[in-house]
Amino acid sequence: MVWLANPERYGQMQYCYCGKSGLRLPALSPGLWHNFGHINALESQRAILRKAFDLGITHFDLANNYGPPPGSAEENFGRLLREDFAAYRDELIISTKAGYDMWPGPYGSGGSRKYLLASLDQSLKRMGLEYVDIFYSHRVDENTPMEETASALAHAVQSGKALYVGISSYSPERTQKMVELLHEWKIPLLIHQPSYNLLNRWVDKSGLLDTLQNNGVGCIAFTPLAQGLLTGKYLNGIPEDSRMHREGNKVRGLTPKMLTEANLNSLRW
């Protein structure tokens, strides 16, 4: 049976222009970081995507290493895209990233042209796409000149494999430099994706928002609920089914050290 999306989906979501671009993004966008791997039920993933789209959410955020295992989130998303959303591709904004460890050897992570463009090709293959709407440099690579990273992002756009480019977790100073480098290629920096929530306010303290506003760059936060900490689920300690209890699982950004009595009291209040 062919699934049909809610015909009223666009009447219940707020859309905002991303920086000074003409692209509008929904106020909420699902990040498929820890919930779309092969260890998760495909039908649960299908239900999440269908419900989100029925509510007018059009932007789905991925990265090459999302899973677990790495790459599996893109594979699962690609399957669901083919099975349920093929007719709606032009209504979707699909983003992916490259920067963290993805394959063995010296070319499997970082910000080099070699890694970024190879990773983008792999991401497109996993998702069954000809292009992504947004391609991010997932992190700063201290060992690669920013000029090289910028040239790779520009090539992604010029080759038609990405419509826009963004960066994630860059400092204000490095963000400003990336804006200027991309400008030399006549490519605007569309968006910055920093971590940001009530317990992690570095965006406010660093002046990043001023840098973005001054350059017309959009901003979209990841971990706005501190990976569940701000939902109240940890008020009485770490639940047994939490990712922090899984043996060998490393949850970047969410650690037991965040569960201080001061933080918990603030949440209870």
Burial category of 140 from C-beta neighbours within 10 Å (exposed 0-12, middle 13-18, buried 19 and up): buried
38 and 56 belong to one structural domain: yes
Peptide bond into 104 cis (omega under 30): no
Query: Is the Cα torsion angle 256, 68, 93, 152 positive or negative in sign?
Result: positive
184 and 258 belong to one structural domain: no
Q: Is the separation of the CB atoms in 154 and 185 below 8 Å? A: yes
Q: Which residue has the higher pLDDT, 269 or 207?
A: 207
| Contacting residues for 178 by C-beta, under 8 A, at least 6 apart | 137, 146, 149, 150, 167, 170, 189
Mean pLDDT in residue range 184-194: 98
CA 127/CA 45 separation, integer angstroms? 15
CA 136/CA 168 separation, integer angstroms? 7
pLDDT in tens, 16-37: 999 999 999 999 999 999 899 9
Q: How many domains does the chain have?
A: 2
Is residue 57 one of the residues assigned to a domain? yes
169 and 258 belong to one structural domain: no
219 and 248 belong to one structural domain: no
Average pLDDT, whole number, for the chain? 92
**Is it the case that residue 268 has pLDDT exceeding 70?**
no
Q: Provide the pLDDT for residue 126.
A: 99
Written as six digits, the tokens of 88 are 């709606």
Confidence of residue 225 (pLDDT cuts 50, 70, 90): confident
**Is it the case that residue 252 has pLDDT exceeding 80?**
no
Q: Which residue has the higher pLDDT, 249 or 57?
A: 57
Domain that holds residue 50: 9-224
pLDDT in tens, 35-84: 999 999 999 999 999 999 999 999 999 999 999 999 999 999 999 999 99
Is residue 149 one of the residues assigned to a domain? yes
Q: Where on the phi/psi map is residue 200: left (φ > 0), alpha (ψ -120 to 50), or beta?
A: beta
DSSP classification of residue 98: E
Is residue 16 one of the residues assigned to a domain? yes
140 and 194 belong to one structural domain: yes
Is residue 164 one of the residues assigned to a domain? yes
Q: Is the separation of the CB atoms in 95 and 166 below 8 Å? A: yes
252 and 133 belong to one structural domain: no
pTM score: 0.89
Is residue 1 one of the residues assigned to a domain? no
Is residue 75 one of the residues assigned to a domain? yes
